[in-house]
Amino acid sequence: MSAVAAAIAEGRVGERLWMYSNYHCNLRCDYCLTESAPGVVRRQLEPETILEHAREARALGFTGVGITGGEPFLLDWMSELLGELAEILPVIVLSNATLFTGRRLEALAPLAGLPVRIQISLDSAEPRANDAVRGRATFAKVVAAVPELVRRGVGVRIATTLEDPASHDPEALERLCVLHRSLGVSDEDHVVRPIVRRGRAATGGLGVLAGFEQLEPELTITADGAFASPFGPTVRAGVLDTDLLVTRTTSPLAVPAGALARVVGDRAEADDARLGIR
């Protein structure tokens, strides 16, 4: 067994390979790690690059891939790519779900029954509270899109990001759970995690501090290099953070994967589970 495969099997390196498909987004959320917005530098990975990384990841011992951004579904080839990725490894893709209407919604239908899940951001059961953070009318778009996806058999998770989950109003959280259940998403497919103080959240003084020692090492590929966590390739004041950069080399994937396994070594489990970031 290779050092990378051993590190994954022993849980020292996360079993999922993350890839930032792009950095641009149709929203401009207050706590966005990557300062994503409509006009930012796209830092885009090409679909064949993503597929090749997934093939390499499978060979190295990874058991899943994650796609994040930016908003991945701004790329018109994303739905088709997810189907191809699912033939290689199970996929989770993070989305704001505000684009799932008409042609884009129908393009997702072929994903029904495949090992693909779309993790959708929804931060409150109150439209005003949700939209204050994520942008005008996003709540209405999400609650319209989720049942449509569920009805088509597409896997959906709901991700709620809060300033401090521990002190959040439990009744407000329960109202959110009632809402996601009504949309067809079970409790086990609802994750609640804190804002991580990087990117725009750091500028705004929001969330929990999280460095390498606090994060689960998960190899993350971007157009700028390979990072030690999907919370790594963040952007602040337009500049890419490099404190969690592993290598600039991303292909062959064995280079950054081997380097991450070496950096992680035999360190104790990270604090991410305690912080609820994972």
Partner 1 sequence: MLVTPVHPADVPLLARPYYSDSAERNSPIVTSLAHVPEALDVTMPFIATVLGPSAIAARTKELVILRASVLLECSYCVRTHSAVALDSDLSVGEVLALRRGEAGWRDAFPAEGDRALLGWVDAVAGAVGAVAPTASKALREHFSVPEVVELTLLCAATVMLNRYCTALELPASEATLRRLAAEGLG
Q: Is the Cβ of residue 186 or residue 242 nearer to partner 1 in the bound state?
A: 242
Q: Which is nearer to partner 1, 118 or 261 (CB)?
A: 261
In the bound state with partner 1, the residue whose beta carbon lies nearer, of 139 and 227, is 227
Contact stretch for partner 1 (CB under 8 A) within 13-21, 56-64, 142-150, 240-248: 240-248
* Sequence-distant (≥ 6) Cβ neighbours of residue 14 within 8 angstroms: 8, 216, 217, 218, 219
CB 203 within 8 A of CB 3: no
Options 54-62, 186-194, 202-210, 245-253: segment touching partner 1 (CB under 8 A): 245-253
Q: Is 101 in the site for partner 1 (CB under 8 A)?
A: no
Choice between 46 and 243, CB closer to partner 1 = 243
- Residues 6 or more apart whose CB falls under 8 angstroms from that of 85 comprise 50, 51, 54, 65, 67, 91, 116
168 touching partner 1, by CB under 8 A: no
| Closer residue to partner 1 in complex, CB, 155/258 | 258
Among 5, 144, 259, 275, binds partner 1 (CB under 8 A): 259
Distance, CA of 269 to CA of 256 (rounded, Å): 20
Q: How far is CA 278 from CA 15, 96, 190, 217, 235, in A?
A: 12, 19, 13, 10, 20
268 Ramachandran zone, left/alpha/beta (phi>0; psi -120 to 50): beta
Q: Does 214 bind partner 1 (CB under 8 A)?
A: no
Q: Which residues bind partner 1 (CB under 8 A)?
A: 212, 228, 241-249, 255, 259, 263
